[in-house]
């Protein structure tokens, strides 16, 4: 039974942030719960083998992101339909309105672009950490983030002034390397 | 923290926090039980096979005993609906987790008009759509192989209304002669209702200009003067009225159309043939939600703000129809007859043929 106890303890500390991450990735309550559940069920199945991993939280995150990307690849086709045309009639100053616009625009990114943005800006991780979680190179993270932000700007011009500018100029890159 | 990070955090705040621990444990246990049971069944099968050729008859037995009900063929389906009160039960079923209980993940897709769902249904981009009965009959007459699988909504006085701007000089339906009227979709049940309203006022649909517009854009279109009147469905009627923007000229679902079932979930015959268990699971979950809403209509009301732009305050005044769990053939017959009378159908369809036969 200590397996169940250990698992419950893991859930108590980590399920809240993990569920929030799932929600940001999927954009839908039920999908978010489904995503987290399916990963947790698999983790529970492998629990004895996972005992030796010291950072279970990172393991769960990695599994989530990968599961989400491959899920979306399989279910992909429906995605475009969901996009309601953002109504632009109201004043876009309101932050609640901006958030809705952001939400709708996020749903129209590819799963990878979305994952990169969420990990990079919501979880505030470095490009290296994001690359590690997504199992790709730092260069891919950079280009995905760049494309994602560009697409957000194109989809929702009213957000443009709020979005972060990635320092792609050589001087900054130099600094980052040093 | 950046603006983007901050906003993402606020979006994440919308996620309700449930404890998934118990569900995960249960799912894991069930999976393990199934696995063990499957292994046991497989052992039995192999043993029997080895023992005697005559065991053939027994082969069907062990797996059947292990899994009395097979899971649905599809674990995830997409359902196209128009975001009005008509689609409330689907959302209630989702919110109550009824589809999940059936092993089904349902993705609602909000369509600007239900007729736009028909080609998506035929191309297998959607599994089911909520289609109004008039559009349904026109589609089947034009050779589409569709069947209604459940009823979605039954109208009540006020669920579909003809409105004008409060500032409009038009006081009666007769005053709409030569005016532009927005309808959700030409050739659908709402336009059939509009034709009836116009005829009662001594006009025909030729006396007005009909403009197609999705419901969410109608209030804006009225305000901007793109049309003079609009045939609005709830909850948009209440949103416009409470906002002081529109005045109701008349109820559209009245006279011959009063209290008729308006729409139902529809699938292609091929999809129904190929996915009997998915369909049964979907029908069970939706039926359960319909019965729940019949007992407590407030649940449908509470679901509205989750998929339409309506505030908690305004939602209290929305007129709801009812949510039957069975297709009423007499209603189908009446709608077919009305559509035929308008010359929308060449012959009178057989309503019994319209409904999918399931055990």
ipTM attached to this prediction: 0.80
Whether A105 contacts chain B with CB within 8 A = no
State whether B141 and B263 are in the same domain: yes
- Quick one: B171 and B246 in the same domain? yes
- pTM across the whole model: 0.54
B272 is a domain residue = yes
Q: What is the pLDDT of residue A23?
A: 92
Cβ–Cβ under 8 Å, residues A51 and A60: no
The structure tokens listed for B242 are 């409470």
pLDDT at A144: 93
Chain B: residue whose CA lies nearest to A161: B3
Note whether B144 and B267 are same-domain residues.
yes
pLDDT at A80: 42
Of B238, B257, B276, which closes a domain? Answer: B257
Q: Which region among A89-98, B120-129, B209-218, B227-236 has the lowest average model confidence (pLDDT)?
A: A89-98
Q: Domain A92-178 - what CATH class?
A: mainly alpha
In degrees and rounded to multiples of 5, residue B299 shows phi and psi of -65, -40
Q: What is the DSSP string of B13-66?
A: HTS-----HHHHHHHHHHHHHHHHHHHHHHHHHHHHHHH-GGGHHHHTHHHHHH
Does the CB of B100 have a partner CB in chain A at under 8 Å?
yes
Q: Tell the burial category of A90 from Cβ atoms under 10 Å away from its Cβ (0-12, 13-18, 19+).
A: exposed
Rounded Cα distance, B176 and B195, in Å:
12
The boundaries of the domain holding residue B48 are: 13-66
Tell me the nearest-neighbour CA distance from B26 into chain A, angstroms. Answer: 9
Q: Would B177 be classed as within a structural domain?
A: yes
Q: Helix axis angle, B88-95 relative to B276-295, nearest 10°?
A: 100
Is B15 close to A23, i.e. CB distance below 8 A? yes
Contact status, residue A79 vs residue A109, Cβ threshold 8 Å: no
Indicate whether B215 and B91 sit together in one domain: no
Q: What pLDDT does A83 receive?
A: 42
Of these ranges, A1-5, B45-49, B343-347, the one predicted with the greatest mean pLDDT is B343-347
Size of interface A-B (CB pairs under 8 A): 113
Range of lowest pLDDT (A154-158, B67-71, B173-177)? B67-71
Phi and psi based region of residue B255 (left: phi greater than 0; alpha: psi -120 to 50; beta: remaining): left
CATH 2.40.50 at A1-76, yes or no: no
B169, part of any domain: yes
Cβ–Cβ below 8 Å for A121 and B2:
yes
User: Choosing among A19, A81, A86, A130, which should be mutated to test the B contact, i.e. which has the most B CBs within 10 A?
Assistant: A81
> In this complex, do A99 and B78 lie within 8 Å of one another by their Cβ atoms?
no
Average predicted confidence (pLDDT) for chain B:
84
- Nearest to B335, CA basis, from B208, B190, B234: B190
CATH of the domain at B305: 3.40.190.10
Q: What is the pLDDT of residue A139?
A: 93
CB A36, CB A15: distance < 8 Å:
yes
Domain end residue (candidates: B66, B84, B110): B66
Q: What are the phi and psi torsion angles at B162 (to 5°)?
A: -90, 120
Is B216 in contact with A75 (Cβ distance < 8 A)?
no
> Domain check: are B219 and B89 in the same one?
no
Chain B residue numbers with beta carbons less than 8 Å from the beta carbon of A34 are 100, 105
The verdict on B98 and B235 lying in the same domain is no
Are residues B49 and B134 both part of a single domain? no
Q: B80 with B24, same domain? A: no
Q: How many domains does chain B have?
A: 3
Q: For chain A, what are the domain ranges?
A: 1-76, 92-178
Lowest-pLDDT range, A1-5, A170-174, B91-95, B166-170?
Answer: A170-174
pLDDT at A113: 92
pLDDT at B190 over 80: yes
Is residue B306 in some structural domain? yes
A32/B15 touch (CB, cutoff 8 Å), yes or no: yes
The backbone region for B225, taken as left when phi is positive above 0, alpha when psi lies in -120 to 50, beta otherwise, is left
Domains A1-76 and A92-178 share a fold: no
Query: Average of pLDDT values for B264-284?
Result: 90
* Predicted confidence (pLDDT) per residue in A10-64, tens digit: 888 888 899 999 999 988 888 898 899 999 998 988 888 887 787 888 889 999 9
Q: Is residue B7 domain-resident?
A: no
Cα A12 to Cα A1, A98, A122, B214, distances in angstroms: 17, 33, 21, 45
């Amino acid at each position: 039974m200590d397996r169940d106890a250990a698992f419950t303890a893991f859930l108590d500390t980590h399920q809240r942030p993990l569920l929030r991450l799932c929600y940001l990735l999927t954009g839908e309550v039920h999908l978010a719960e489904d995503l987290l559940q399916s990963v947790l069920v698999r983790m529970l199945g492998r629990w004895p083998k996972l005992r030796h991993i010291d950072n279970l939280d990172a393991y769960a995150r990695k599994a989530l992101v990968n599961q989400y990307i491959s899920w979306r690849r399989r279910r992909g086709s429906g995605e475009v339909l969901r996009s309601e045309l953002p109504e632009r009639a109201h004043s876009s100053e309101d932050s609640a309105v901006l958030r809705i616009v952001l939400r709708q625009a996020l749903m129209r990114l590819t799963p990878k672009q979305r994952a990169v943005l969420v990990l990079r800006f919501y979880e505030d991780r470095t490009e290296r950490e994001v690359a590690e979680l997504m199992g790709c190179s730092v260069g891919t993270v950079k280009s995905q983030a760049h494309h994602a932000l560009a697409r957000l700007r194109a989809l929702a011009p009213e957000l443009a002034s709020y979005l972060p500018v990635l320092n792609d100029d050589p001087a900054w890159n130099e600094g980052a390397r040093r | 923290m950046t603006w983007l990070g901050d906003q993402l955090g606020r979006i994440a705040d919308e996620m309700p926090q449930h404890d998934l621990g118990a569900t995960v444990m249960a799912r894991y246990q069930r999976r393990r039980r199934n696995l063990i049971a499957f292994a046991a069944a497989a052992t039995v099968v192999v043993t029997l096979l080895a023992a005697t050729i005559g065991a053939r008859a027994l082969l069907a037995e062990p797996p059947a005993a292990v899994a009395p009900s097979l899971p649905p063929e599809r674990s995830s389906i997409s359902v196209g609906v128009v975001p009005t009160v008509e689609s409330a039960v689907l959302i209630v079923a989702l919110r109550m987790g009824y589809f999940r209980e059936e092993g089904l993940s349902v993705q609602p897709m909000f369509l600007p008009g239900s007729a736009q769902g028909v080609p998506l249904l035929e191309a297998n981009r959607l599994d089911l759509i909520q289609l109004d009965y008039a559009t349904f009959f026109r589609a089947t007459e034009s050779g589409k192989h569709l069947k209604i699988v459940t009823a979605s909504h039954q109208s009540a006085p006020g669920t579909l209304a003809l409105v004008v701007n409060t500032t409009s000089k038009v006081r009666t339906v007769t005053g709409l002669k030569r005016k532009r009227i927005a309808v959700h979709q030409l050739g659908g049940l709402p336009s059939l209702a509009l034709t009836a309203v116009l005829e009662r006022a001594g006009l025909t649909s030729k006396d007005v200009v009909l403009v197609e517009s999705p419901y969410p854009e109608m209030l804006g279109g009225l305000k901007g003067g793109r049309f003079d009147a609009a045939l609005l469905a709830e909850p948009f009627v209440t949103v416009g009225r409470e906002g002081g923007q529109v005045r109701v000229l008349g109820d559209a679902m009245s006279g011959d159309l009063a209290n008729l079932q308006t729409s139902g979930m529809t699938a292609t015959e091929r999809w129904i043939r190929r996915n009997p268990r998915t369909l049964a699971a979907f029908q069970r979950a939706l039926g359960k939600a319909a019965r729940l809403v019949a007992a407590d209509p407030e649940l449908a009301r509470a679901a509205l703000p989750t998929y339409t732009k309506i505030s908690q305050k305004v939602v209290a005044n929305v007129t709801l129809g009812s949510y039957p769990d069975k297709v009423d053939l007499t209603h189908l017959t009446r709608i077919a007859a009305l559509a035929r009378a308008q010359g929308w159908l060449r012959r009178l369809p057989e309503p019994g043929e319209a409904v999918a036969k399931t055990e």
